[in-house]
């Protein structure tokens, strides 16, 4: 009854895929083109077709995907890049790598995503600090697209490029379009726990801009030019391994049905938990791929809540316990307005439940019962 449940069930996915992934890996082992082999070319074509972007460029991680775009945009010291504070560190980290300054912006509590009004305040903070705002990186937190229609006009008015951090949201849609062709580029991650994950690190950049794509392809391989030993610019070693491309090609075949299953699981959680917690809502006109299913439990003792679920074999996680503007590595950087109250509040309230396409109704019922029991024991009732 209390056998531990997985937070993400990659074993169930492997079982569904049968021997297909192992065979795909073995094909690479046998043909031997471990670096930039034929599976890379095939995967890039499939990914571009899947999301409707003109170009898809695979790379070694979601972090490299973000960094390569910043390098292509020649981000440098004195530049400010605006990003939400309530995100994974990589979003701001890549800005700091290049000696530029991340300027932290607050998020909206109804979507966990960048707040356009706070973006305006962030621009003022950047300028007050003597910085030159050059770009903005909205993040699609937990799988839901940011409010691009609100952010894009601000970016345009200010002459900023917009890079979409879709590390958690590849496969989601915004106003009927799959993510991948909004802004100057879109970066995603194929980290194993992501909705589309490989068996190691991996990532991709999507763009409709031919010139940007060409520069990214050069940066990915040490800034190479016409041949391997011509270096046009400073680049990185940012290639995806062929073996990971082979894994992704197999997983991509079942990805649409996995997205549908994630949606079913999330909807059912929402129905069953709405009366006891603040459940995540997807904004009108968007779909989410539910990289995380994240509740808010204001007023509850979150540590005790997590311990109660753990005692029943149910893992939970907190993404993210501390917003970036409060992290030692980033606290010195400017922030929008006088502070980022929503990010700080959410960091104290959020808790994510097991979420994956193979979560059975039976397991979900067990999780829901444990959530209700744990909150009732604390005498907190937080209706959505
Ligand atoms: C929002 C966000 N951006 C960037 C990244 C970085 O991706 P990766 O771990 O593949 O480098 C992640 C991954 O966790 C992420 O969640």
CATH number of the domain that residue 364 is part of = 3.90.1150.10
Question: Coil, strand or helix: which one is 67?
Answer: helix
Nearest to 355 by CA among 283, 279, 265, 235: 265
Ligand 1 and 201: CB distance under 6 A: yes
Task: Check residue 295 and give its pLDDT.
Answer: 98
Whose CA is closest to 198, among 17, 379, 378?
Answer: 17
Going from the Cα of 138 to the center of ligand 1, the distance in angstroms, rounded, reads: 13
The secondary element (H helix, E strand) that includes residue 264 is: helix 242-273
- Provide the pLDDT for residue 379: 78
Cα 206 from Cα 188, distance rounded (Å): 8
Same-domain pairing of 203 and 265: no
User: Is residue 91 within 6 Å of ligand 1 at its C-beta?
Assistant: yes
**In this predicted structure, what is the pLDDT of residue 222?**
97
In a domain, 5, yes or no: no
Q: Which tokens in the block code for residue 70?
A: 């910043």
CA dihedral 80, 323, 152, 281 (to 10 degrees): 180
Distance (Å, rounded) from C-alpha 151 to C-alpha 118?
Answer: 11
Residue 140, in any domain of the structure: yes
Among residues 233, 249, 265, the one where a domain terminates is 249
pLDDT tens-digit series, residues 161-177: 999 999 999 999 999 99
CB of residue 58 inside a 6 A radius of ligand 1: no
* 262 shares a domain with 245: no
Mean pLDDT of 75-80: 98
Cα 234 to middle of ligand 1, angstroms: 23
User: Ligand 1 centroid to 3 CA: how many Å?
Assistant: 30
52 and 182 together in one domain: yes
Token output for 352:
């994510």
pLDDT > 70 fraction of the chain, expressed in percent and rounded:
100
The pLDDT confidence band at residue 383, using thresholds 50, 70 and 90, is confident
Summarize the confidence of residues 108-123 as an average pLDDT: 97
Q: What is the CATH number of the domain that holds 31?
A: 3.40.640.10
Query: Total structural domains in the chain?
Result: 2
| Average pLDDT score over residue span 304-318 | 97
Domain identity same for 182 and 67: yes
* pLDDT for the residue 140: 98
pLDDT at residue 1 above 60? no
Q: Are residues 205 and 244 in the same domain?
A: yes
**3-state DSSP call for residue 284?**
coil
In this predicted model, what pLDDT tens digit does every residue of 201-231 receive, in sequence order?
999 999 999 999 999 999 999 999 988 899 9
Ligand 1 centroid distance, CA of 383 (Å) = 31
Same domain, yes or no: 210 and 311: no
DSSP code for 80? E
Q: What digits encode the pLDDT tens for the residues 32-45?
A: 999 999 999 999 99
In a domain, 3, yes or no: no
CA distance 342 to 337: 12
pLDDT, averaged across the chain: 97
114 lines ligand 1 (CB under 6 A): no
Statement: residue 186 has pLDDT above 90: yes
Which of 202, 229, 249 lies at the terminal end of a domain, its last residue? 249
- The H-assigned helical ranges of 38-186 are 38-51, 62-72, 90-97, 116-128, 148-158
**Which domain-ending residue is among 219, 249, 279?**
249
Residue 267 has φ and ψ, to the nearest 5°, of -60, -40
The preferred substitution site among 59, 137, 191, 203 for testing ligand 1, maximizing ligand atoms within 8 Å of CB, is: 191
Mutate to test the pocket of ligand 1, among 168, 170, 199, 238 (most ligand atoms within 8 A of CB): 168
Asked if pLDDT for residue 77 goes beyond 90, the answer is: yes
Q: What span, in angstroms and rounded, lies between the C-alpha atoms of 65 and 283?
A: 26
Closest atom of ligand 1 relative to the 141 alpha carbon: 1
pLDDT band at 109 (very low <50, low <70, confident <90, very high): very high
- If asked whether residues 199 and 263 sit together in one domain, one would say no
Q: Is the CB of 343 under 6 A from ligand 1?
A: no
CA distance 202 to 196: 10
Task: Kindly state whether residues 244 and 275 are assigned to the same domain.
Answer: no
Residue from 348, 251, 233, 363 nearest 300 by CA? 348
Which ligand 1 atom minimizes the distance to the CA of 90? 4
Q: Are residues 142 and 20 in the same domain?
A: yes
Hey, what are 102's tokens? 């991340």
Mutate to test the pocket of ligand 1, among 8, 64, 70, 88 (most ligand atoms within 8 A of CB): 88
Q: What is the mean pLDDT of residues 185-198?
A: 98
- Whether residues 219 and 329 share a domain: the answer is no
Pairing of strands 185-189, 161-165: parallel
384 pLDDT more than 90: no
In a shared domain, residues 311 and 293 = yes
- 4, part of any domain: no
- Tell me, what's the pLDDT at 382? 79
* Same domain as 268, residue 205: no
- Quote the domain boundaries for residue 306: 256-383
End-to-end CA distance of the chain: 29
Q: Whose CA is nearest to atom 12 of ligand 1?
A: 167
Please give the backbone phi and psi of residue 381, each rounded to the nearest 5 degrees, phi first: -135, 115
List, as one string, the DSSP characters of 336-379: STT--HHHHHHHHHEEEE---TT--HHHHHHHHHHHHHHHHHTT
Q: Where are the beta strands (DSSP E) in 151-256?
A: 161-165, 173-174, 177-178, 185-189, 203-207
Of 128, 148, 384, 124, which is closest to residue 272 (Cα–Cα)? Answer: 384
Q: Specify the ligand 1 atom closest to the Cα of 139.
A: 1
Kindly give the distance from the C-alpha atom of residue 318 to the centroid of ligand 1, in angstroms, as a whole number: 15
Distance of alpha carbon 57 from alpha carbon 206, whole angstroms: 6
């Amino acid at each position: 009854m209390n056998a531990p449940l997985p937070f993400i069930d990659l074993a169930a996915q492997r079982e569904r895929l049968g021997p297909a992934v192992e065979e795909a890996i073995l094909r690479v082992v046998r043909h031997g083109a471990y670096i930039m082999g034929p599976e890379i070319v095939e995967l890039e074509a499939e990914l571009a077709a899947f999301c409707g972007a003109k170009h898809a460029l695979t790379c070694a991680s979601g972090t490299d995907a973000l960094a390569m775009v910043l390098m292509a945009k020649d981000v440098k010291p004195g530049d400010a890049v605006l990003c939400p504070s309530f995100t994974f560190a990589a979003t701001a980290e890549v800005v700091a790598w290049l000696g530029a300054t991340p300027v932290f912006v607050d998020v909206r509590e109804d979507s966990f995503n960048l707040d356009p009004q706070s973006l305006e305040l962030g621009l003022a903070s950047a300028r007050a600090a003597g910085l030159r705002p050059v770009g903005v990186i909205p993040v699609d937190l937990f799988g839901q697209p940011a409010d691009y229609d609100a952010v894009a006009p601000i970016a345009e008015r200010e002459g900023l490029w917009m890079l979409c951090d879709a590390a958690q949201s590849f496969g989601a849609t915004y106003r009927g379009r799959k993510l991948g062709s909004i802004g100057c580029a879109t970066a995603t991650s194929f980290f194993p726990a992501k909705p589309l994950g490989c068996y190691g690190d991996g990532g991709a950049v999507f763009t409709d801009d031919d010139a940007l794509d060409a520069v990214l392809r050069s940066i990915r391989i040490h800034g190479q030019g016409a041949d391997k030993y011509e270096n046009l610019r400073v680049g990185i070693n940012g290639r995806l391994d062929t073996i990971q491309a082979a894994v992704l090609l197999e997983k991509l075949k079942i990805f649409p049905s996995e997205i549908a299953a994630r949606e079913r699981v999330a909807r059912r959680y929402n129905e069953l938990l709405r009366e006891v917690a603040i459940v995540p809502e997807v904004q009108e006109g968007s779909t989410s791929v539910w990289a995380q299913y994240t509740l808010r439990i204001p007023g509850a003792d979150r540590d005790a809540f997590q311990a109660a679920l753990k005692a029943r074999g149910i893992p939970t996680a907190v993404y993210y316990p501390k917003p970036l503007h409060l992290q030692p590595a980033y606290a010195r950087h400017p922030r929008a307005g006088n502070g980022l109250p929503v990010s700080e509040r959410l960091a104290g309230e959020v808790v994510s439940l097991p979420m994956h396409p193979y979560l059975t109704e039976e397991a979900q019922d067990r999780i829901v019962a444990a959530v209700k029991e744990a909150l009732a024991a604390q005498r907190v009732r937080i209706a959505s």
